[in-house]
């Protein structure tokens, strides 16, 4: 029996019909799937004894914050505290303009960053993830000369590495199968 078949059989234990379409905040006694910015997923049961959720290299997420938000919410850690962040719609007219410039003239020898790894580590200990990303971009000698697409790509890559962020997902059959497949591919 495959892992996905096992998950589908036990789905009635994880997602009872009364909880299938919960409107409002995530209730205690339910399950939640956490996905971080790198795509790692983990399933948690929010039982009475659960006080915090621990996900990889991130600091513990207090259960009180999770119970205050609905499924699909994004939590970000800034200055040691987990807070809900709302997505913003960034649509501009500049996105529709065709660009003909490129970055082939930029050196690819990792010499563009003036911050040392120890300075970045120190920044991570004292600042929020967004501040670290801004510092990395401002101390890069080639950032300003990159195309807009390359700048956005650079910022997104640095945010994935330095910003602690998780999305709280509803434990649907598909999410559970994806989560367990990523966690233990060799068992499927």
pLDDT profile of the chain (188 residues), mean per 10 = 60 48 80 89 92 87 92 86 76 53 63 74 75 82 81 83 86 89 75
Strands 31-36 and 165-169: antiparallel
| Model pLDDT, residue 63 | 93
* Cα–Cα distance list, 153 to 57, 73, 150 (Å): 23, 24, 5
Structure tokens that stand for 174 in this block: 């598909």
Reported pTM: 0.65
Q: Residue 18's pLDDT is what?
A: 45
Cβ partners under 8 Å of residue 64, min gap 6: none
Other CB atoms closer than 10 Å to residue 137's CB: what's the count? 16
Full 3-state SS string of the chain: CCHHHHHHHCHHHHCCHHHCCCCCCCCCCCEEEEEECCCCEEEEECCCCCCEECCCCCCCEEHHHHCCCCCCCEEEEECCEEEEECCCCCCCHHHHCCCCCCCCCCCCCCCCECCCHHHHHHHHHHCCHHHHHHHHHHCECCCCCCCHHHHHHHHHHHHHHHCCEEEEECCCHHHHHHHHHHHCHHHC
**What is the per-residue pLDDT for 100?**
59
pLDDT at 103: 65
For the chain, the distance separating the N- and C-terminal CA atoms, rounded to the nearest angstrom, is 9
pLDDT at 19: 46
List phi, psi (to 5°) of 170. Answer: -70, 135
């Amino acid at each position: 029996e495959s892992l996905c078949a096992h998950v589908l059989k036990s789905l009635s234990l994880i997602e009872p019909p009364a909880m299938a379409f919960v409107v409002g905040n995530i209730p205690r006694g339910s399950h939640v799937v956490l996905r971080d910015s790198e795509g790692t997923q983990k399933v948690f049961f929010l039982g009475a004894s659960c006080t915090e959720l621990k996900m990889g290299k991130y600091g513990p997420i207090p259960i009180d914050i999770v119970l205050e938000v609905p499924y699909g919410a994004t939590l970000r850690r800034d200055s040691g505290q987990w807070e809900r962040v709302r997505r913003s719609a960034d649509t501009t007219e500049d996105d529709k303009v065709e660009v003909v410039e490129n970055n082939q003239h930029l050196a690819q020898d990792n010499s563009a960053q003036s911050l040392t790894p120890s300075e970045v580590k120190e920044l991570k200990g004292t600042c929020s993830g967004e501040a670290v990303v801004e510092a990395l971009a401002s101390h890069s000698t080639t950032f300003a000369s990159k195309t807009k697409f390359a700048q956005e790509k650079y910022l997104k890559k640095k945010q994935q590495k330095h910003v602690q962020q998780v999305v709280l997902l509803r434990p649907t059959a598909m999410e559970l199968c994806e989560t367990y497949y990523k966690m233990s591919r060799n068992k499927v």
